[in-house]
Structure 1
């Protein structure tokens, strides 16, 4: 079991490095991960069989770059003259990998980016977007605003095309230009987490959401779908507001005991780490008493124990958003509108590993 999990983690690291750099070398990865070069070659061979990488002499590249006698030089793409504005609600948690992915794609395509932050404030969203448009600085916009019907209509009437990033309108709306979007498939991520915990023997799985997060509704949808597929009775769903954090966490664990919950999926990493810390301080063992899966995987590996986490493909979302926008700017209205979902991945760590338990067992009676 351990060797298999380590293999999954190596594969994830290898693919992550490929998405970042475009190529990897066997010797570099073996040294970085502390394994033999033969192990890395076997990992590359396994991924190549699934058409996820292309083997080349000394390492691997992304599919489509073609084999060669050595790692190829980066493909030189024709430069364009586009400038794309990107307005995100935060420049720290969650969004930096998306911005990094956008910058990587922009550099490859010869596109300039104008980055703005708006602090989850609809009025600030409009100000930042308006400034970019009014100054004629951009030919397209990548946006992650707080969405309502009025904002959707306003964006649809902008004089330049816009693509939503990690956002999606609830319904079709009659705007002059149909909005395009690219986002992580968070509902699928929740389903992956539920299925993983079910495979580990859990039959009572709770969900802890982040209050007012746009991601929460997707996680709830995926959690319910997976529970229905697996014939798991509806468990506990709570939303943390962070106003009285430790009191809320105490209440969550008390509800777990009453509902015989043996596993929790928690959005996001800081809340999952707080729950793990509270458990440690009050005699609830993770994963023996309560298994945890975090959603986001920003800092989940820093917890004690390290948290299994669903990792949204943030870097790839940023890349795709820029690529979609460049395609839109080059092809104009000839190209149909696109709405893209990108699948998250599960990173398995200690907090959810299989253990021998009685059904409905929750050891601690402290809550």
Structure 2
């Protein structure tokens, strides 16, 4: 009777445990399967962190049983994030939960939104003795990394969190885990289009990486959905321009017939809605509004429909991938993981569309 893949892989792990290390050719003989089949099994087991392979030799995962996924026991993971705030607080919470579950330790560094602050913080974390580090570099929106070579040259594995390196970057071959913000914007636009809004305003900040991704997602989303694009209403001084932004939105409503707006982020959306009332615009009666981030959106009056990036899941997935990297080493293919945001439907999307009410 032919063994199933599960039975065959269990036998491979058993042999590797007994031998300590073994060439794939000999392993295939011991398992009684074709070399090409065993090589595929070994690749799958290595990717899952269950064993290590290098130059045709298979060996147990260092520091753990080859029969169970690699844990983080005795591992120390560093994490560098921009200035603390609700968004990255949840990313940190997810990472901490995953580290604790794996029996590892998390060390945290926090920087300002200045790229020059990243390296000193990383060096301080490295002095504490790290096995790997999760990095959210302070790259300027749109330019990714003018000087990222130092990240590539770190003495421990590095993984990018909520950042995407361009293909020609020095860090393009690093693992990364983040939210797919373009997908999040597309969810919002598709929902508003289904409510009859064929044109949607975007109100967005300019000073963060996420803001840049939201802007790019808007440009691509309106193109894909065949919607009418509108000039972005810029928030140049976050938290200080609600009256100016409200006037710009009201002008678009009055002269262009727009009845829907996507706002990045929650803070701007919460400050904007009462300012719109001064222009006779109430949400949801006169204007459908979606916020991007969903940190505070549910607490608004009325509660705001919002795009919710999977912040905690990003932190947890980053830790899990780092532990797999530490277990498998260079045999694990580079992973660029993008987790999809959700759209949380609440009260604020009842505004009138182009020809029907949502």
Under a length normalisation based on structure 2, what TM-score does the superposition of the two structures give?
0.74
How many pairs were matched up? 284
The alpha-carbon deviation at position 178 of structure 1 amounts to: 2.2
How far does residue 154 in structure 1 lie from its aligned partner after superposition?
A: 1.4
- 2:178 aligned with 1:183, yes or no? yes
| Matches of 1:269 and 1:232, distance apart in 2 | 24
Residue 164, structure 1, aligned to residue 156, structure 2: no
Deviation of 1:216 after TM superposition, in Å, equals 2.3
1:365 aligned residue: none
Aligned to 2:273: 276
Q: For residues 30-65 of structure 1, what are the alpha-carbon distances to aligned partners after superposition, in whole Å with 9 as ceiling and x for unaligned?
A: xxxxxxxxxxxxxxxxxxxxxxxxxxxxxxxxxxxx
What RMSD, in angstroms, separates the aligned Cα atoms of the two structures?
Answer: 2.3
Q: Flag the 1:257–1:170 CA change in 2: closer, same or farther, 3 A.
A: farther
**Higher mean C-alpha displacement, 228-237 vs 94-103:** 228-237
- CA deviations 1:315-351 (Å, max 9, x no partner) are 0000000001101111111111110100000000010
Deviation, 1:136, is: 4.6
Q: Secondary structure at the match of 2:272?
A: helix
TM-score computed with the length of structure 1 as normaliser: 0.72
Question: Does 2:217 match 1:222?
Answer: yes
Q: Which runs of 5+ in 2 are unaligned?
A: 1-67
Could you tell me how far apart the structure 2 residues matched to 1:309 and 1:185 are?
Answer: 15
**Equivalence for 2:149:** 153
1:260 is aligned to 257
- Stretch deviating more after TM superposition (282-291 or 301-310): 282-291
SS in 2 for 1:234: coil
- Are the equivalent residues in 1 in contact too, given 2:71–2:323 (CA < 8 A)? no
**Bigger Rg, structure 1 or 2:** 2
Higher relative contact order (CA 8 A, sep 6+): 2
After TM superposition, where is structure 1 displaced by more than 6 Å over at least 4 residues in a row? Answer: none
8 Å Cα contact 2:202/2:261 also seen in 1? yes
Structure 1: gaps (5+ residues): 1-74, 362-367
State the alpha-carbon separation in 2 of the partners of residues 357 and 323 from structure 1: 44
1:12-41 Cα offsets, whole Å, 9 max, x none, are xxxxxxxxxxxxxxxxxxxxxxxxxxxxxx
Instruction: Look up the SS of the partner of 2:213 in the other structure.
Output: helix
1:113-262 to structure 2, matched below 5 A, reads: 113-133=106-126, 135-147=127-139, 148-174=144-170, 178-242=173-237, 244-245=240-241, 246-262=243-259
